Structure 1
Protein backbone atom coordinates (compact mmCIF):
# COMPACT_ATOMS: atom_id res chain seq x y z
CA UNK A 1 0.00 0.00 0.00
CA UNK A 2 1.31 3.43 -0.92
CA UNK A 3 1.61 6.07 1.78
CA UNK A 4 2.49 9.71 1.41
CA UNK A 5 5.05 11.04 3.86
CA UNK A 6 5.14 14.76 4.48
CA UNK A 7 6.73 17.33 6.71
CA UNK A 8 5.17 17.85 10.15
CA UNK A 9 1.82 19.61 9.90
CA UNK A 10 -0.58 21.22 12.32
CA UNK A 11 -3.35 19.10 13.78
CA UNK A 12 -5.96 21.30 12.12
CA UNK A 13 -4.34 20.74 8.73
CA UNK A 14 -4.15 17.00 9.30
CA UNK A 15 -7.75 16.71 10.51
CA UNK A 16 -9.47 19.16 8.16
CA UNK A 17 -6.86 20.46 5.75
CA UNK A 18 -4.61 19.75 2.83
CA UNK A 19 -2.01 17.61 4.58
CA UNK A 20 -3.49 14.33 5.86
CA UNK A 21 -0.40 12.35 6.83
CA UNK A 22 0.48 9.08 8.48
CA UNK A 23 1.40 9.00 12.21
CA UNK A 24 3.04 10.15 14.34
CA UNK A 25 0.59 13.01 14.57
CA UNK A 26 1.47 16.27 16.35
CA UNK A 27 1.01 16.23 20.10
CA UNK A 28 -2.19 17.58 21.63
CA UNK A 29 -1.95 19.83 24.67
CA UNK A 30 -5.45 21.38 24.81
CA UNK A 31 -8.97 19.88 24.67
CA UNK A 32 -9.52 21.26 21.18
CA UNK A 33 -6.23 19.86 19.91
CA UNK A 34 -7.05 16.54 21.56
CA UNK A 35 -10.30 16.50 19.60
CA UNK A 36 -8.44 17.32 16.37
CA UNK A 37 -5.95 14.55 17.09
CA UNK A 38 -8.81 12.11 17.63
CA UNK A 39 -10.32 13.18 14.30
CA UNK A 40 -6.99 12.69 12.53
CA UNK A 41 -6.40 9.27 14.07
CA UNK A 42 -9.89 8.14 13.14
CA UNK A 43 -9.52 9.38 9.57
CA UNK A 44 -6.51 7.08 9.20
CA UNK A 45 -8.48 4.19 10.69
CA UNK A 46 -6.72 4.13 14.07
CA UNK A 47 -10.05 3.61 15.78
CA UNK A 48 -8.74 2.34 19.12
CA UNK A 49 -6.20 5.16 19.50
CA UNK A 50 -8.73 7.76 18.39
CA UNK A 51 -11.33 6.45 20.83
CA UNK A 52 -8.81 6.56 23.69
CA UNK A 53 -7.85 10.15 22.82
CA UNK A 54 -11.47 11.30 22.72
CA UNK A 55 -12.54 9.44 25.86
CA UNK A 56 -9.69 11.14 27.69
CA UNK A 57 -10.93 14.45 26.32
CA UNK A 58 -14.52 14.07 27.51
CA UNK A 59 -13.33 13.00 30.96
CA UNK A 60 -10.96 15.93 31.41
CA UNK A 61 -12.22 18.46 34.01
CA UNK A 62 -13.69 21.64 32.56
CA UNK A 63 -10.99 24.24 31.98
CA UNK A 64 -10.81 28.00 32.10
CA UNK A 65 -11.67 28.95 28.53
CA UNK A 66 -15.35 29.32 29.33
CA UNK A 67 -18.12 26.77 29.90
CA UNK A 68 -19.56 27.08 26.41
CA UNK A 69 -16.21 26.39 24.74
CA UNK A 70 -15.47 23.36 26.91
CA UNK A 71 -18.93 21.89 26.43
CA UNK A 72 -18.73 22.47 22.68
CA UNK A 73 -15.43 20.60 22.41
CA UNK A 74 -16.83 17.75 24.48
CA UNK A 75 -19.84 17.63 22.21
CA UNK A 76 -17.60 17.53 19.13
CA UNK A 77 -15.66 14.67 20.73
CA UNK A 78 -18.85 12.65 21.29
CA UNK A 79 -19.96 13.29 17.70
CA UNK A 80 -16.59 12.10 16.42
CA UNK A 81 -16.80 8.90 18.47
CA UNK A 82 -20.30 8.41 17.07
CA UNK A 83 -18.96 8.68 13.53
CA UNK A 84 -16.52 5.83 14.23
CA UNK A 85 -19.36 3.61 15.42
CA UNK A 86 -21.42 4.51 12.37
CA UNK A 87 -18.55 3.68 10.00
CA UNK A 88 -18.36 0.24 11.58
CA UNK A 89 -22.11 -0.37 11.29
CA UNK A 90 -23.10 0.22 14.93
CA UNK A 91 -25.92 2.71 14.44
CA UNK A 92 -27.55 2.33 17.86
CA UNK A 93 -24.26 2.96 19.65
CA UNK A 94 -23.65 5.93 17.37
CA UNK A 95 -27.08 7.38 18.17
CA UNK A 96 -26.38 7.19 21.90
CA UNK A 97 -23.14 9.13 21.46
CA UNK A 98 -24.75 11.67 19.12
CA UNK A 99 -27.50 12.16 21.68
CA UNK A 100 -24.89 12.98 24.31
CA UNK A 101 -23.26 15.37 21.86
CA UNK A 102 -26.55 17.16 21.24
CA UNK A 103 -27.27 17.45 24.95
CA UNK A 104 -23.88 19.06 25.57
CA UNK A 105 -24.20 21.44 22.63
CA UNK A 106 -27.69 22.49 23.72
CA UNK A 107 -26.50 22.99 27.30
CA UNK A 108 -23.63 25.11 26.02
CA UNK A 109 -26.01 27.40 24.15
CA UNK A 110 -28.80 27.36 26.77
CA UNK A 111 -31.26 26.99 23.89
CA UNK A 112 -31.84 24.90 20.80
CA UNK A 113 -31.09 28.07 18.83
CA UNK A 114 -27.34 28.54 18.76
CA UNK A 115 -26.21 31.47 20.86
CA UNK A 116 -23.48 31.92 23.43
CA UNK A 117 -22.56 34.54 25.98
CA UNK A 118 -18.80 34.03 25.98
CA UNK A 119 -17.82 34.41 22.35
CA UNK A 120 -18.07 30.70 21.54
CA UNK A 121 -21.02 30.89 19.15
CA UNK A 122 -19.21 29.48 16.14
CA UNK A 123 -17.87 26.43 17.96
CA UNK A 124 -21.24 25.74 19.57
CA UNK A 125 -22.88 25.97 16.16
CA UNK A 126 -20.38 23.44 14.82
CA UNK A 127 -21.10 21.08 17.70
CA UNK A 128 -24.89 21.38 17.48
CA UNK A 129 -24.93 20.86 13.72
CA UNK A 130 -22.56 17.90 13.93
CA UNK A 131 -24.77 16.23 16.53
CA UNK A 132 -27.99 16.72 14.54
CA UNK A 133 -26.31 15.57 11.33
CA UNK A 134 -25.00 12.49 13.09
CA UNK A 135 -28.42 11.63 14.50
CA UNK A 136 -29.91 11.91 11.02
CA UNK A 137 -27.26 9.56 9.62
CA UNK A 138 -27.87 7.14 12.50
CA UNK A 139 -31.58 7.14 11.70
CA UNK A 140 -30.91 6.38 8.03
CA UNK A 141 -28.75 3.43 9.08
CA UNK A 142 -31.75 1.80 10.79
CA UNK A 143 -34.22 2.85 8.05
CA UNK A 144 -35.97 5.54 10.12
CA UNK A 145 -36.08 7.75 7.07
CA UNK A 146 -38.88 10.02 8.29
CA UNK A 147 -36.95 10.79 11.46
CA UNK A 148 -33.85 11.52 9.42
CA UNK A 149 -35.79 13.88 7.18
CA UNK A 150 -37.19 15.85 10.11
CA UNK A 151 -33.76 16.15 11.72
CA UNK A 152 -32.31 17.42 8.46
CA UNK A 153 -35.11 19.98 8.15
CA UNK A 154 -34.16 21.29 11.60
CA UNK A 155 -30.51 21.34 10.57
CA UNK A 156 -31.34 23.27 7.40
CA UNK A 157 -33.20 25.87 9.46
CA UNK A 158 -30.20 26.39 11.72
CA UNK A 159 -27.68 26.57 8.91
CA UNK A 160 -29.82 29.07 7.03
CA UNK A 161 -30.28 31.10 10.21
CA UNK A 162 -26.52 31.28 10.57
CA UNK A 163 -26.48 32.55 6.95
CA UNK A 164 -23.08 31.09 6.17
CA UNK A 165 -23.95 28.72 3.34
CA UNK A 166 -20.98 29.66 1.19
CA UNK A 167 -18.65 31.06 3.83
CA UNK A 168 -15.79 29.14 5.38
CA UNK A 169 -17.10 29.36 8.94
CA UNK A 170 -19.34 26.29 8.84
CA UNK A 171 -18.15 24.79 5.55
CA UNK A 172 -17.76 21.35 7.11
CA UNK A 173 -21.32 21.33 8.42
CA UNK A 174 -22.72 22.23 4.99
CA UNK A 175 -20.68 19.49 3.32
CA UNK A 176 -21.80 16.89 5.86
CA UNK A 177 -25.40 18.04 5.48
CA UNK A 178 -25.14 17.38 1.74
CA UNK A 179 -23.64 13.93 2.36
CA UNK A 180 -26.50 12.89 4.60
CA UNK A 181 -29.10 14.49 2.32
CA UNK A 182 -27.59 12.38 -0.46
CA UNK A 183 -27.79 9.23 1.65
CA UNK A 184 -31.41 9.90 2.57
CA UNK A 185 -32.33 10.42 -1.08
CA UNK A 186 -30.56 7.23 -2.17
CA UNK A 187 -32.19 5.19 0.61
CA UNK A 188 -35.55 6.67 -0.44
CA UNK A 189 -35.08 5.65 -4.07
CA UNK A 190 -34.54 9.22 -5.31
CA UNK A 191 -31.24 8.67 -7.10
CA UNK A 192 -31.34 11.91 -9.11
CA UNK A 193 -31.87 13.95 -5.95
CA UNK A 194 -29.07 12.04 -4.28
CA UNK A 195 -26.73 12.86 -7.14
CA UNK A 196 -27.64 16.55 -6.89
CA UNK A 197 -26.72 16.63 -3.19
CA UNK A 198 -23.53 14.65 -3.81
CA UNK A 199 -22.45 17.13 -6.47
CA UNK A 200 -23.29 20.00 -4.13
CA UNK A 201 -21.04 18.45 -1.47
CA UNK A 202 -18.28 18.02 -4.04
CA UNK A 203 -18.55 21.66 -5.12
CA UNK A 204 -18.45 22.90 -1.52
CA UNK A 205 -15.51 20.65 -0.64
CA UNK A 206 -13.51 21.85 -3.63
CA UNK A 207 -13.71 25.39 -2.25
CA UNK A 208 -12.14 24.24 1.02
CA UNK A 209 -8.77 22.80 1.95
CA UNK A 210 -9.77 19.40 3.34
CA UNK A 211 -8.46 16.60 1.13
CA UNK A 212 -10.48 14.09 3.14
CA UNK A 213 -13.77 15.92 2.56
CA UNK A 214 -12.95 16.30 -1.12
CA UNK A 215 -12.34 12.57 -1.51
CA UNK A 216 -15.44 11.55 0.42
CA UNK A 217 -17.58 13.98 -1.57
CA UNK A 218 -16.28 12.44 -4.81
CA UNK A 219 -17.10 9.04 -3.33
CA UNK A 220 -20.66 10.17 -2.65
CA UNK A 221 -20.93 11.19 -6.31
CA UNK A 222 -19.72 7.70 -7.26
CA UNK A 223 -22.41 6.14 -5.07
CA UNK A 224 -25.05 8.36 -6.66
CA UNK A 225 -23.84 7.46 -10.16
CA UNK A 226 -24.16 3.80 -9.27
CA UNK A 227 -27.72 4.38 -8.05
CA UNK A 228 -28.65 6.13 -11.30
CA UNK A 229 -27.40 3.17 -13.33
CA UNK A 230 -24.07 4.60 -14.47
CA UNK A 231 -22.00 1.65 -13.30
CA UNK A 232 -19.02 2.52 -15.48
CA UNK A 233 -18.86 6.12 -14.30
CA UNK A 234 -19.28 5.05 -10.69
CA UNK A 235 -16.49 2.47 -10.95
CA UNK A 236 -14.09 4.90 -12.62
CA UNK A 237 -14.67 7.61 -10.03
CA UNK A 238 -14.51 5.14 -7.13
CA UNK A 239 -11.17 3.88 -8.44
CA UNK A 240 -9.81 7.43 -8.39
CA UNK A 241 -11.09 7.84 -4.83
CA UNK A 242 -9.48 4.57 -3.82
CA UNK A 243 -6.10 5.68 -5.15
CA UNK A 244 -6.36 9.12 -3.54
CA UNK A 245 -7.48 7.87 -0.14
CA UNK A 246 -4.90 5.08 -0.03
CA UNK A 247 -2.10 7.45 -1.02
CA UNK A 248 -3.06 9.72 1.88
CA UNK A 249 -3.40 6.85 4.37
CA UNK A 250 -7.16 7.39 4.72
CA UNK A 251 -8.01 3.71 4.97
CA UNK A 252 -11.69 3.97 5.99
CA UNK A 253 -12.32 5.91 2.78
CA UNK A 254 -10.15 3.50 0.79
CA UNK A 255 -12.24 0.59 2.07
CA UNK A 256 -15.48 2.39 1.17
CA UNK A 257 -14.15 3.15 -2.31
CA UNK A 258 -13.24 -0.50 -2.86
CA UNK A 259 -16.81 -1.45 -1.94
CA UNK A 260 -18.03 0.61 -4.91
CA UNK A 261 -15.94 -1.38 -7.39
CA UNK A 262 -17.66 -4.78 -7.17
CA UNK A 263 -16.56 -7.76 -9.18
CA UNK A 264 -13.02 -6.57 -9.87
CA UNK A 265 -10.53 -8.96 -8.33
CA UNK A 266 -7.97 -6.25 -7.63
CA UNK A 267 -10.50 -4.10 -5.80
CA UNK A 268 -11.85 -7.09 -3.86
CA UNK A 269 -8.34 -8.03 -2.77
CA UNK A 270 -7.59 -4.48 -1.66
CA UNK A 271 -10.89 -4.27 0.20
CA UNK A 272 -9.84 -7.34 2.17
CA UNK A 273 -6.42 -5.83 2.80
CA UNK A 274 -7.99 -2.59 4.04
CA UNK A 275 -10.28 -4.55 6.36
CA UNK A 276 -7.26 -6.28 7.87
CA UNK A 277 -5.47 -2.95 8.37
CA UNK A 278 -8.52 -1.44 10.05
CA UNK A 279 -9.01 -4.52 12.22
CA UNK A 280 -5.44 -4.23 13.49
CA UNK A 281 -6.15 -0.59 14.32
CA UNK A 282 -9.27 -1.38 16.34
CA UNK A 283 -11.98 -1.28 13.68
CA UNK A 284 -14.29 -4.30 13.69
CA UNK A 285 -17.19 -4.20 11.22
CA UNK A 286 -20.58 -5.64 12.16
Structure 2
Protein backbone atom coordinates (compact mmCIF):
# COMPACT_ATOMS: atom_id res chain seq x y z
CA UNK A 1 0.00 0.00 0.00
CA UNK A 2 2.96 2.35 0.48
CA UNK A 3 3.53 2.37 -3.27
CA UNK A 4 0.03 3.67 -3.92
CA UNK A 5 0.00 6.28 -1.14
CA UNK A 6 3.61 7.47 -1.11
CA UNK A 7 5.34 5.74 -3.99
CA UNK A 8 5.46 5.18 -7.72
CA UNK A 9 1.90 3.98 -8.35
CA UNK A 10 -0.47 6.69 -7.06
CA UNK A 11 -3.10 6.06 -9.75
CA UNK A 12 -3.69 2.39 -8.96
CA UNK A 13 -7.34 1.39 -8.68
CA UNK A 14 -8.87 -0.61 -7.11
CA UNK A 15 -6.62 -0.42 -4.08
CA UNK A 16 -5.46 -3.47 -2.13
CA UNK A 17 -7.52 -4.43 0.90
CA UNK A 18 -6.44 -3.17 4.32
CA UNK A 19 -5.35 -5.54 7.07
CA UNK A 20 -4.06 -3.02 9.63
CA UNK A 21 -4.76 0.55 10.80
CA UNK A 22 -1.69 1.65 8.88
CA UNK A 23 -3.12 0.08 5.70
CA UNK A 24 -6.43 1.89 6.22
CA UNK A 25 -4.64 5.21 6.50
CA UNK A 26 -2.55 4.51 3.40
CA UNK A 27 -5.67 3.52 1.44
CA UNK A 28 -7.36 6.78 2.44
CA UNK A 29 -4.31 8.82 1.42
CA UNK A 30 -4.09 7.05 -1.94
CA UNK A 31 -7.82 7.39 -2.65
CA UNK A 32 -7.78 11.07 -1.71
CA UNK A 33 -4.89 11.70 -4.07
CA UNK A 34 -7.12 10.43 -6.88
CA UNK A 35 -10.05 12.55 -5.71
CA UNK A 36 -11.97 9.48 -4.56
CA UNK A 37 -13.16 11.21 -1.42
CA UNK A 38 -16.12 8.94 -0.66
CA UNK A 39 -13.83 5.89 -0.58
CA UNK A 40 -11.19 7.77 1.41
CA UNK A 41 -13.66 8.94 4.05
CA UNK A 42 -15.06 5.42 4.39
CA UNK A 43 -11.58 4.13 5.20
CA UNK A 44 -11.01 6.99 7.64
CA UNK A 45 -14.35 6.21 9.31
CA UNK A 46 -13.19 2.64 9.85
CA UNK A 47 -9.79 3.80 11.06
CA UNK A 48 -11.34 6.22 13.55
CA UNK A 49 -13.56 3.46 14.94
CA UNK A 50 -10.69 1.00 15.33
CA UNK A 51 -8.04 3.51 16.46
CA UNK A 52 -9.83 6.52 17.95
CA UNK A 53 -6.79 7.85 19.79
CA UNK A 54 -3.01 7.99 19.46
CA UNK A 55 -1.05 8.17 16.25
CA UNK A 56 -3.69 6.81 13.87
CA UNK A 57 -6.51 8.74 15.50
CA UNK A 58 -4.43 11.84 14.89
CA UNK A 59 -3.47 10.95 11.32
CA UNK A 60 -7.09 10.15 10.45
CA UNK A 61 -8.13 13.65 11.46
CA UNK A 62 -5.19 15.34 9.75
CA UNK A 63 -6.00 13.47 6.56
CA UNK A 64 -9.65 14.53 6.69
CA UNK A 65 -8.46 18.08 7.20
CA UNK A 66 -6.25 17.89 4.12
CA UNK A 67 -9.20 16.68 2.03
CA UNK A 68 -11.31 19.61 3.20
CA UNK A 69 -8.54 22.07 2.28
CA UNK A 70 -8.24 20.54 -1.19
CA UNK A 71 -11.90 21.40 -1.69
CA UNK A 72 -11.60 24.91 -0.22
CA UNK A 73 -12.92 24.31 3.32
CA UNK A 74 -9.99 25.69 5.34
CA UNK A 75 -12.25 26.88 8.15
CA UNK A 76 -13.75 23.42 8.64
CA UNK A 77 -10.35 21.74 8.46
CA UNK A 78 -9.07 23.73 11.42
CA UNK A 79 -11.07 21.84 14.07
CA UNK A 80 -9.93 18.48 12.68
CA UNK A 81 -6.29 19.55 12.68
CA UNK A 82 -6.69 20.85 16.23
CA UNK A 83 -8.03 17.45 17.26
CA UNK A 84 -5.16 15.78 15.43
CA UNK A 85 -2.66 17.92 17.34
CA UNK A 86 -4.26 17.03 20.69
CA UNK A 87 -4.29 13.31 19.89
CA UNK A 88 -0.69 13.33 18.67
CA UNK A 89 0.65 14.26 22.07
CA UNK A 90 2.60 17.02 20.35
CA UNK A 91 5.27 14.68 19.06
CA UNK A 92 6.37 12.63 16.07
CA UNK A 93 5.03 12.30 12.56
CA UNK A 94 1.42 12.82 13.63
CA UNK A 95 2.27 15.97 15.56
CA UNK A 96 4.19 17.44 12.63
CA UNK A 97 1.36 16.59 10.21
CA UNK A 98 -1.15 18.28 12.51
CA UNK A 99 0.95 21.44 12.81
CA UNK A 100 1.49 21.70 9.07
CA UNK A 101 -2.25 21.26 8.63
CA UNK A 102 -2.94 24.01 11.17
CA UNK A 103 -0.50 26.27 9.35
CA UNK A 104 -2.29 25.66 6.05
CA UNK A 105 -5.68 26.24 7.69
CA UNK A 106 -4.56 29.56 9.15
CA UNK A 107 -3.05 30.63 5.83
CA UNK A 108 -6.31 29.83 4.05
CA UNK A 109 -8.27 32.25 6.25
CA UNK A 110 -5.65 35.02 6.24
CA UNK A 111 -4.10 34.39 9.68
CA UNK A 112 -0.53 34.66 8.45
CA UNK A 113 1.22 35.12 11.80
CA UNK A 114 -0.52 32.04 13.22
CA UNK A 115 0.47 30.09 10.13
CA UNK A 116 4.11 31.09 10.56
CA UNK A 117 4.12 30.08 14.23
CA UNK A 118 2.72 26.66 13.38
CA UNK A 119 5.35 26.19 10.67
CA UNK A 120 8.15 27.05 13.08
CA UNK A 121 6.85 24.50 15.59
CA UNK A 122 6.46 21.91 12.85
CA UNK A 123 10.04 22.45 11.70
CA UNK A 124 11.29 21.70 15.21
CA UNK A 125 9.37 18.40 15.27
CA UNK A 126 10.41 17.42 11.75
CA UNK A 127 14.08 17.82 12.66
CA UNK A 128 13.63 14.86 15.01
CA UNK A 129 11.46 12.69 12.73
CA UNK A 130 12.95 10.45 10.01
CA UNK A 131 10.54 11.22 7.16
CA UNK A 132 10.90 11.92 3.46
CA UNK A 133 7.48 13.53 3.06
CA UNK A 134 7.25 15.91 6.03
CA UNK A 135 10.03 18.31 4.92
CA UNK A 136 8.33 18.48 1.51
CA UNK A 137 4.97 19.35 3.07
CA UNK A 138 6.68 21.98 5.20
CA UNK A 139 8.24 23.52 2.08
CA UNK A 140 4.86 23.58 0.27
CA UNK A 141 3.08 25.51 2.98
CA UNK A 142 6.08 27.78 3.53
CA UNK A 143 5.98 28.66 -0.17
CA UNK A 144 2.22 29.22 -0.08
CA UNK A 145 2.51 31.48 2.98
CA UNK A 146 5.29 33.48 1.32
CA UNK A 147 3.14 33.90 -1.80
CA UNK A 148 0.20 35.11 0.29
CA UNK A 149 2.46 37.60 2.04
CA UNK A 150 4.07 38.67 -1.25
CA UNK A 151 7.36 37.55 0.25
CA UNK A 152 10.20 36.96 -2.18
CA UNK A 153 11.19 33.73 -0.44
CA UNK A 154 8.31 31.79 -2.05
CA UNK A 155 10.39 30.63 -4.99
CA UNK A 156 13.20 29.35 -2.75
CA UNK A 157 10.73 27.34 -0.66
CA UNK A 158 9.10 25.90 -3.79
CA UNK A 159 12.46 24.99 -5.32
CA UNK A 160 13.42 23.27 -2.06
CA UNK A 161 10.24 21.20 -2.26
CA UNK A 162 11.10 20.14 -5.81
CA UNK A 163 14.64 19.20 -4.78
CA UNK A 164 13.47 17.20 -1.77
CA UNK A 165 10.75 15.46 -3.78
CA UNK A 166 13.24 14.47 -6.49
CA UNK A 167 14.93 12.08 -4.05
CA UNK A 168 11.73 10.88 -2.37
CA UNK A 169 9.73 7.84 -3.54
CA UNK A 170 6.38 9.64 -3.90
CA UNK A 171 5.30 10.56 -7.42
CA UNK A 172 2.39 12.54 -5.94
CA UNK A 173 4.78 14.68 -3.89
CA UNK A 174 6.90 15.33 -6.97
CA UNK A 175 3.87 16.44 -8.98
CA UNK A 176 2.49 18.68 -6.24
CA UNK A 177 5.92 20.23 -5.72
CA UNK A 178 5.93 21.17 -9.39
CA UNK A 179 2.45 22.69 -9.05
CA UNK A 180 3.66 24.80 -6.12
CA UNK A 181 6.74 25.82 -8.12
CA UNK A 182 4.54 26.91 -11.04
CA UNK A 183 2.48 29.05 -8.67
CA UNK A 184 5.62 30.55 -7.12
CA UNK A 185 6.99 31.49 -10.54
CA UNK A 186 3.66 33.11 -11.33
CA UNK A 187 3.74 35.08 -8.08
CA UNK A 188 7.28 36.21 -8.90
CA UNK A 189 6.13 37.50 -12.29
CA UNK A 190 7.90 34.86 -14.40
CA UNK A 191 4.88 33.72 -16.38
CA UNK A 192 6.90 31.78 -18.96
CA UNK A 193 8.45 29.63 -16.22
CA UNK A 194 5.05 29.23 -14.57
CA UNK A 195 3.58 27.97 -17.84
CA UNK A 196 6.49 25.61 -18.40
CA UNK A 197 6.24 24.06 -14.93
CA UNK A 198 2.44 24.11 -15.03
CA UNK A 199 2.24 22.30 -18.37
CA UNK A 200 4.61 19.64 -17.11
CA UNK A 201 2.65 19.19 -13.89
CA UNK A 202 -0.61 19.00 -15.84
CA UNK A 203 0.73 16.13 -17.94
CA UNK A 204 2.19 14.28 -14.97
CA UNK A 205 -0.97 14.65 -12.89
CA UNK A 206 -3.02 13.30 -15.78
CA UNK A 207 -0.65 10.41 -16.39
CA UNK A 208 -0.91 9.31 -12.75
CA UNK A 209 -4.61 9.88 -12.14
CA UNK A 210 -4.06 12.69 -9.63
CA UNK A 211 -7.34 14.47 -10.32
CA UNK A 212 -7.26 17.14 -7.55
CA UNK A 213 -3.73 18.19 -8.53
CA UNK A 214 -4.69 18.23 -12.19
CA UNK A 215 -7.63 20.50 -11.34
CA UNK A 216 -5.34 22.81 -9.32
CA UNK A 217 -2.76 23.27 -12.04
CA UNK A 218 -5.42 23.59 -14.76
CA UNK A 219 -6.98 26.36 -12.67
CA UNK A 220 -3.61 28.14 -12.60
CA UNK A 221 -3.10 27.72 -16.35
CA UNK A 222 -6.63 28.96 -17.03
CA UNK A 223 -5.48 32.28 -15.62
CA UNK A 224 -2.06 32.59 -17.25
CA UNK A 225 -2.38 30.46 -20.36
CA UNK A 226 -0.63 27.27 -21.41
CA UNK A 227 2.27 27.02 -23.82
CA UNK A 228 0.97 23.68 -25.11
CA UNK A 229 -2.84 23.73 -24.96
CA UNK A 230 -5.52 26.20 -25.99
CA UNK A 231 -7.58 28.13 -23.43
CA UNK A 232 -10.60 25.99 -24.31
CA UNK A 233 -8.65 22.78 -23.74
CA UNK A 234 -7.40 23.97 -20.35
CA UNK A 235 -10.91 25.01 -19.32
CA UNK A 236 -12.26 21.62 -20.37
CA UNK A 237 -9.62 19.83 -18.31
CA UNK A 238 -10.31 22.00 -15.27
CA UNK A 239 -14.07 21.52 -15.49
CA UNK A 240 -13.80 17.80 -16.15
CA UNK A 241 -11.59 17.37 -13.08
CA UNK A 242 -14.04 19.37 -10.96
CA UNK A 243 -16.94 17.20 -12.11
CA UNK A 244 -14.95 14.02 -11.54
CA UNK A 245 -14.29 15.08 -7.95
CA UNK A 246 -18.01 15.65 -7.42
CA UNK A 247 -18.86 12.22 -8.84
CA UNK A 248 -16.30 10.70 -6.47
CA UNK A 249 -17.80 12.29 -3.37
CA UNK A 250 -16.12 15.68 -3.10
CA UNK A 251 -18.02 18.86 -2.28
CA UNK A 252 -16.42 22.08 -3.50
CA UNK A 253 -16.75 25.14 -1.31
CA UNK A 254 -17.01 27.41 -4.31
CA UNK A 255 -20.05 25.56 -5.65
SS of the residue aligned with 2:115? helix
Q: Shift of residue 61 of structure 1?
A: 5.3
Deviations 1:151-193 (A, max 9, x none): 1111122223x1x6xxxx2121100000000011000011x30
2:85 maps to what in 1? 102
More displaced 10-residue stretch of structure 1: 136-145 or 231-240: 231-240
Q: 2-side partners of 1:44 and 1:248: how far apart?
A: 9
5 Å matches for 1:203-282? 203-262=163-222, 263=225, 264-282=231-249
Scaled by the length of structure 1, the TM-score of the pair is 0.83
1:182 matches 2:143: yes
1:30 maps to what in 2? 20
When the two chains are superposed, the root-mean-square deviation of aligned CA atoms in Å is 1.2
Scaled by the length of structure 2, the TM-score of the pair is 0.93
Pick closer, same or farther for the CA change 1:61–1:213 going to 2, 3 Å.
closer
Q: Shift of residue 42 of structure 1?
A: 0.4
Contact 1:139–1:145 at 8 Å: present in 2 too? yes
1:134 maps to what in 2? 101
Ranges in structure 2 where 5+ consecutive residues have no aligned partner: 226-230
Equivalent of 1:84 in 67, 82, 99 = 67
Equivalent of 1:149 in 108, 116, 120 = 116
2:8 maps to what in 1? 18
2:38 maps to what in 1? 48
Contact 2:21–2:51 at 8 Å: present in 1 too? no
Equivalent of 2:29 in 15, 39, 64 = 39
Contact 1:179–1:197 at 8 Å: present in 2 too? yes
Contact 1:238–1:261 at 8 Å: present in 2 too? yes
Ranges in structure 1 where 5+ consecutive residues have no aligned partner: 1-10, 63-69, 107-111, 115-124
SS of the residue aligned with 1:260? helix
Q: Shift of residue 232 of structure 1?
A: 1.6
Deviations 1:38-85 (A, max 9, x none): 0010000001110111011111157xxxxxxx6101211111110000
2:228 maps to what in 1? none
Q: 2-side partners of 1:212 and 1:141: how far apart?
A: 22
Pick closer, same or farther for the CA change 1:232–1:61 going to 2, 3 Å.
closer
Larger Rg: 1 or 2?
A: 1
Q: Shift of residue 285 of structure 1?
A: 1.1
Q: Shift of residue 269 of structure 1?
A: 1.1
Query: May I ask how many residue pairs the two structures share in their alignment?
Result: 246
Contact 1:22–1:44 at 8 Å: present in 2 too? no
